[in-house]
Amino acid sequence: MAKVVLFGDSYIKRLCFFCDERTGLHMPYNVKWYSQGGLRTDRMNTDLYGKMLKEKGDIVIVAVGGNDITPTSQPKEIVRRITEIVNDISRNGCEHVYITEILTRGNFSKCPGLQKIVFDRQRIKINKCLAKTFKNNLLKFPERICTKTKIRFTSYIE
């Protein structure tokens, strides 16, 4: 059975809850979860990152970058750090690394001065750069699946 490793911020943390066998949604893979709410690429939890790399997944899915967006952040710098993460994972022996696009959100209470319009402007720039860089290895989610409090993932890996 293939080993799938998911690494990222609170989106991965919440997804783990929804994929728990106790909720009735079973994953047809050996799935390992490495997540931390508020995870940023410029202040990486090195312990969590190291554990994820040691897992040696057949497939690794990375969901980071949204928490890096601030009123003064530079989209190119965020893309550079995401690219470094993907390159680290690839150098570690994983042939199949996927990155998720950054989804919209509405709560900016932990980032003073950040407003939705600024967040979305940067998010869209980052996602366009990620699409050019990672092409078919970028997992995209239609905007309509995102609601105020829930995210429903419609993609799967074969």
pLDDT digits (tens, 9 = 90+) for 135-156: 999 999 776 544 444 444 433 3
Residue 46: inside a domain:
yes
E-strand stretches of 27-156 = 30-35, 59-63, 96-100, 138-139
Cα-flanking dihedrals φ and ψ of residue 36, to 5°?
Answer: -150, 125
Closest CA to 5 of 85, 83, 80: 85
CATH number of the domain residue 64 falls in? 3.40.50.1110
In a domain, 124, yes or no: yes
Instruction: At 92, list the tokens.
Output: 């570690």
Domain total in the chain:
1
State the CB neighbour count (10 A cutoff) for residue 51.
14
* pLDDT digit string, tens, across residues 28-82: 778 888 999 899 999 999 999 999 999 999 999 999 999 999 999 999 999 999 9
Share of the chain above pLDDT 70, in %: 82
Task: Please give the residue range of the domain that contains residue 85.
Answer: 3-145
DSSP-assigned beta bridge partners for residue 32 = 5
Q: Does 155 reside within a domain?
A: no
